[in-house]
Chain A
Amino acid sequence: MDDLIKYAPDLLAGFLENVKLSLICGALALVLGTVLVAARVAPTPVLRAAGTLYVNVVRNTPLTLVLAFSSLGLSDTIGLTFSETPSTNSFWLVVFGLSAYTATFVCEALRAGINTVPLGQAEAARAIGLTFLQSLRLIILPQAFRTVVAPLGSVMIAMIKNTTVAIAGGYLMESAFRMRDTFDDTGVSIPIFLGLVVAFMAVTLPVGFVTSRLASKLAVAR
């Protein structure tokens, strides 16, 4: 318990990094996932193929490899840098990798949602003269989103937990890495371990609760 109190400020600072990563990646993944699903249902075969390829490759690659690729491949080899400061640079590389990865799950959840929207909705949208993008944006996606709020919540929970593998992208500031670092000094401390678990649950449980409440509230009556 003393260990937990002693290292709490450091661990909390680390945990705030997890929260920061979660907020930024969550927002980016939702945007990118929506763009991906638009590509996957687009009338243009090339766009559909590109979307499918991206999702199948990235979704089926282990996250540690995606992050390692961001850091070692994109940054070190190709030279993609977000900042001169190494820790800031690796923060954004992790944001890049984790968002790109999570977006594929967002895309697939949304695509499942689109499949629940009756075909007649799209036909009616086209029949009043809406373009493909308009009918997607105004008619199809709003209904799809409402049906998959709960699964999207699961995607977000998984993503929040996935911020603890940021080390694979070379980012050493988040809480799980700090915890292991601390264990090197103090030996394994169960209170520290449990403290971090509680911190994560304090974020993930509400996400699950709120999204399932929203899901029943937003459900589209047919």
Chain B
Amino acid sequence: MTEPGDPRTLVSLRGVNKSFGALHVLKDIDLNVARGEVVVVIGPSGGGKSTLCRLVNRLETIDSGTITFDGQELPAEGKALARFRSDVGMVFQSFNLFSHKTILENVTLGPIKVRKVSKEAAEKRGMELLERVGIASQAAKYPAQLSGGQQQRTAIARALAMDPKMILFDEPTSALDPEMVQEVLDVMTGLARDGMTMMVVTHEMGFARRAANRVVFMAGGEVVEEGAPDEFFDSPRSDRARDFLSKILTH
């Protein structure tokens, strides 16, 4: 793990706490993500993984602590926050493609409206990205006409279209039919190989082993253990991680 002051650090969380009412979902979280690093966050449900992911682009606000991105504290609101978010891609569990826009429009909207790229340039780039995730032939369709896997790949293309410094994945394959999980993971593995900085909340242990630089194990709102994938999966140090892994890896 890089240190907060290190220029290689892209995201740094320090003493972050978050509660929903009486429920203390994140407790004194300290976590750094370096540029180009792929951090996979795993752990039992309700452990605060998704909340952690959503804090990084401020879809959730924090109660205490600090989060810095590229050396700057996250903007609180307004135009500065919008500009910051345009640099951080987000892929949701339920895809959240814009239902009234075509696949291509979903990918070009951000570049056109936020980056002020011309429509022609945005469409050209959009088609390249759709090509890259393997759904260029679906460009004129609407999200509801596509399979879950195709929708999620569109969502990844939409995030990529903004040329983000980092992409957050909040359980990107959890809502997919089993036969579509792999096509999405393949795209993500490709991104990881290309050096994209990624924070991935997932239950896909195979992906974690293959693509992650570091695995963060969260339970009960705390980071219980973190380390290189092989080290974590082969010899977890904490009882909770051992317990968790024994439950998911035996079948």
Select the stretch in B20-28, B82-90, B188-196, B230-238 that faces chain A. B82-90
Alpha-carbon separation in the docked complex, A131 to B114 (Å): 9
- C-alpha gap A34/B142 in the complex (Å): 26
With a cutoff of 8 Å between Cβ atoms, the chain A residues found around residue B114 in the complex are 128-130, 134
Interface residue? A214 (CB, 8 A): no
Could you tell me which residues of chain B, from 87 to 143, have a CB within 8 Å of some CB in chain A?
87-90, 92, 94-100, 109-110, 113-114, 142
Which residue from A43, A121, A129, A138 sits with its C-beta under 8 Å from B85? A129
Partner of A124, one of B82, B84, B92: B92
Tell yes or no: B214 within 8 A of A by CB.
Answer: no
A121 touches B98 (CB 8 A): yes
Do A127 and B99 touch (CB < 8 A)?
no
Partner of A143, one of B57, B84, B100: B100
Q: Report whether B92 and A128 are in contact in the complex, using a CB–CB cutoff of 8 Å.
A: no
CB of A129 within 8 A of CB of B100, answer: no
Q: Mark A202-222, 1 if CB is under 8 A from B, else 0.
A: 000000000000000000111
Q: Does residue B239 face the partner (Cβ distance < 8 Å to A)?
A: no
Give chain B residues whose Cβ lies under 8 Å from the Cβ of A181.
Answer: none
Given known contacts A129-B82, A129-B114, A130-B82, A120 and B94 CB-to-CB distance under 8 angstroms: yes
Cβ-defined contact, A128 with B96, below 8 A: no
B144 touches A222 (CB 8 A): yes
In the complex, what residues of B have CB within 8 A of residue A180's CB? none
Q: Are B97 and A131 in contact (CB under 8 A)?
A: no
Q: Determine chain B's interface SS by DSSP, over half rule.
A: mixed
Q: How far is the CB of A157 from chain B (nearest CB, A)?
A: 26
Judged by DSSP, the binding face of A is helix
Min CB–CB distance A162 → chain B (angstroms)? 32
**A220 near B90: Cβ-Cβ < 8 Å:** no
CB of B77 within 8 Å of the partner chain:
yes
Determine whether the beta carbon of B99 is less than 8 Å from that of A129: no
* A127 touching B94, Cβ below 8 Å: no
Is B158 positioned at the interface, with any CB of A under 8 Å from its CB? yes
Q: For the complex, give the distance between the alpha carbons of A118 and B97 in Å.
A: 11
Q: Which of A128, A131, A134, A146 has the most CB of B within 10 A?
A: A128
In the bound assembly, the distance between CA atoms of A131 and B113 in angstroms comes to: 10
Q: Would you call B92 and A138 a contact (CB within 8 A)?
A: no
Q: Which of B50-103 contact A (CB under 8 A)?
A: 57, 59, 77-79, 82-90, 92, 94-100
Knowing A123-B59, A123-B96, say if A130 contacts B110 (CB, 8 Å): yes
Q: A220 — which chain B residues lie within 8 A by C-beta?
A: 99-100
Check if A131 sits within 8 Å of B98, measured CB to CB.
no
A142 neighbours in B (Cβ, 8 Å): 100
**Interface residues in chain A, defined as those with a beta carbon under 8 Å from any beta carbon in chain B:** 43, 118, 120-121, 123-131, 134, 138-139, 142-143, 146, 220-222
- Chain B residues with CB under 8 Å of chain A are 57, 59, 77-79, 82-90, 92, 94-100, 109-110, 113-114, 142, 144-145, 155, 158-159, 162
